[in-house]
Structure 1
Amino acid sequence: MGTIDSTTRSVVAFLATAVFFGGTFVAAKAGLEYMPPLLFVAIRFDIAAVLLLGYVVLTVPREQWFPKTRADLAGIAAAGLLTIGLANAMVFLGQQYVTSAIASVIFSLNPILTPVFAALLLSEERLAPTEILGMIVALVGVAVVMELNPADLLASAGIGHAILLIGAVAVALGGVLIKRADSAIPSTVRIAWGLPLGAGFCHLLAGVRGEQFAAIEWTPGALIALGYVAVFSGVLAYIAYFGLIDEIGATRANLAFYLVPVVAAVGGWAVLGEPITATTATGFLVVFAGFAIINREQLGRGLATRRQSGPLETGPSHRWNDGD
């Protein structure tokens, strides 16, 4: 397709990723009132796997349904175990202790961590001093959100915060490993295999944790929350997100997670009555400042290109191209 078509497709996928994943934090918080966290995630992916299988059967040629190479298997494993399974298990576990807004801000470290893994795994480049500075600034922003006390870090760091940080690492690492695998199968097929793998992983974790199906309260609120995380953020969001990785690379795709806290904060306030505190907003701005430091050259080129060529045209980007 032409440049405009490709760019428009990327913009739509970018916004869909941000909105659907942002709603995940709100729906997860609402559903945790009725379901144990890991079973909640596992059932979510059980449903999503069936739905996506039907989508693949209807839209993908039969010869592309199955993995054929080690690269295909590696991409499926990275998606299923890290980006889908572990990351979401940590989100739902962590949100037992924090609000939707706080959870999403901590998770927004994902785009900060992605260039680190990309530098280590996708190229021989080392992080520049300014990029290291940006990471430090972003970590300070997360520390503000977590309200860490420098005099007693372990005591002030909540368990929910630590769990969510693990989830952010899992998403960043998984996205880069998917790109590194350089799989030839379509992204939707990779997700279709990754979802049952992630579901099985979460069922295993739920069993280890001792979660029981009898503990689930099948109320209308539970069904609405489960329906959202299964369909919108369990199928549609992943189609958009993994397609975006294939289209523009993991680093640029993960920039969508900077809109996620806005969606989650507004949604948590509107649906759940959660407050948006000044501390959380300040921390998010500091995290975003860290992102801006890391990607200052790309932001400058992007603004210059937009002024010269209009909003639908994009110039080349070296640092954001994870395949470099």
Structure 2
Amino acid sequence: MKSLQVDRNGALFIGVWSSGYIGGSVAATAIAPLAANLWRFLLGGLLLAGIAGHRRETWPRGRVLGAAAAVGVLLFTVQFGGLYIGMANGTPAATTALIACSSPLLVAAASAALGWDRLSARQWAGIALGVAGVAITLADRLGRPPTLAALAWTLLGLAGLAAGTLLQGRLRTSAGPAALAATEVAAATLVMAVWAPLEGSLAIPETARAIGSLLWIALIPGVLGPLLFFALIRQRGATRASSLLFVVPAVTAIAAWPILGAPLGATTVVGLAVAAAGLRLTLRPSARRQPEPERVAVRAGSNG
């Protein structure tokens, strides 16, 4: 029953995360990209804080508070800021998705180098298959970034996603999940509030397209996304949780067919099958469980 629940959580995460790409693609055509992220973070963070207050969750304090803020800036501000500016400078969306959704490979390599995780040969093969599945899914839409600057922004977004995922897996705190997520999103919001005005208008057009897409990305991937992702990282570890990103491009493409009218190609189906096979191999536990290393953040006491 426990494994079934984990699978349900993983499937729900994939659906929620994929919906963020659909809603984000709509929002980015109606609102300045970084402004969309700023308002998304602000609305999502307020709702997460409200949930934490209603549930009377413990909030992170002391060293954990600082660590959570740093993770939030990496995982949200750096990731989405870098990816969105890269696309605004001409990096094709499919190329951006390929780079971002290959982050499990970077997470696995860094975890192994730091001695935080050890994967079996079968799991490394699964990660390789997962990356191949993403590439197959997006093969007919890939293109080169027009400049080195555009590529650099995209790689910065990848670095934020990978580093944030790694450090999230090292956080140990008694703070509640909504309180922790709200803290991380609040830190991301503060940094984005300085960055976004430099890149364009902060105005939200008074159209159903702009307001509807903003509400969607703020409430669904903006609230449920972090809660599910953090829960999966605690359950599976950073590498295995992030490996769910392998199937996100294919699921997004399938959902975009009826919603955005984007045609579904045969490569999407093949890519989904390859990525799913890689994910299955990656999620299998290692034969030997390694002793738990020292964590980046100490376990907090009853006060968080």
* Residue number among 208, 224, 227 corresponding to 1:239 in the alignment: 227
The answer to whether residue 111 in structure 2 is matched with residue 118 in structure 1 is yes
Structure-to-structure mapping, 1:92-107, within 5 angstroms: 92-96=84-88, 97=90, 103-107=96-100
Partner of 1:173: 163
SS class of match (2:225): helix
* Residue number among 197, 201, 209 corresponding to 1:212 in the alignment: 201
The answer to whether residue 191 in structure 2 is matched with residue 201 in structure 1 is yes
**Per-residue deviation at 1:11?**
2.5
Q: Deviations over 1:172-207 (max 9, x none)?
A: 221111222333423322111011111122222212
SS class of match (2:173): coil
TM-score (normalizing by structure 1)? 0.73
Q: Which amino acid aligns with 2:32?
A: P
* Residue number among 55, 59, 65 corresponding to 1:65 in the alignment: 59
Partner of 2:297: none
Q: Structure 2: how far apart are the matches of 1:28 and 1:166?
A: 19
Q: Structure 2: how far apart are the matches of 1:322 and 1:106?
A: 32
Compared CA separation, residues 104 and 269, structure 1 to 2 (3 A): farther
The answer to whether residue 31 in structure 2 is matched with residue 35 in structure 1 is yes
Q: Deviations over 1:25-71 (max 9, x none)?
A: 1111111121000010000010011111110011134xx12423x24
Q: Structure 2: how far apart are the matches of 1:199 and 1:65?
A: 18
Q: Structure 1: how far apart are the matches of 2:82 and 2:76?
A: 10
8 Å CA contact 1:145, 1:284 repeated in 2: no
* Residue number among 14, 21, 36 corresponding to 1:18 in the alignment: 14
Structure 1: runs of 5+ lacking an equivalent: 150-154, 303-315
**Per-residue deviation at 1:220?**
0.2
**Per-residue deviation at 1:237?**
1.4
Q: Which amino acid aligns with 2:166?
A: V
8 Å CA contact 1:87, 1:170 repeated in 2: yes
8 Å CA contact 1:82, 1:174 repeated in 2: yes
SS class of match (2:226): helix
* Residue number among 206, 209, 217 corresponding to 1:221 in the alignment: 209
Of all paired residues, the percent bearing the same amino acid is: 22
8 Å CA contact 1:106, 1:142 repeated in 2: no
SS class of match (2:10): helix
* Residue number among 231, 238, 254 corresponding to 1:250 in the alignment: 238
Q: Structure 2: how far apart are the matches of 1:148 and 1:260?
A: 16
- In the alignment of these two chains, the number of paired residues is 290
Structure 2: runs of 5+ lacking an equivalent: 294-304
8 Å CA contact 2:250, 2:271 repeated in 1: no
Compared CA separation, residues 133 and 51, structure 1 to 2 (3 A): closer
Deviates further, 36-45 or 183-192? 183-192
TM-score (normalizing by structure 2)? 0.78
Compared CA separation, residues 166 and 288, structure 1 to 2 (3 A): farther
Q: Which amino acid aligns with 2:59?
A: W
SS class of match (1:65): coil
The answer to whether residue 120 in structure 2 is matched with residue 109 in structure 1 is no
**Per-residue deviation at 1:143?**
9.6
Q: Structure 2: how far apart are the matches of 1:98 and 1:277?
A: 21
* Superposed CA RMSD: 3.8
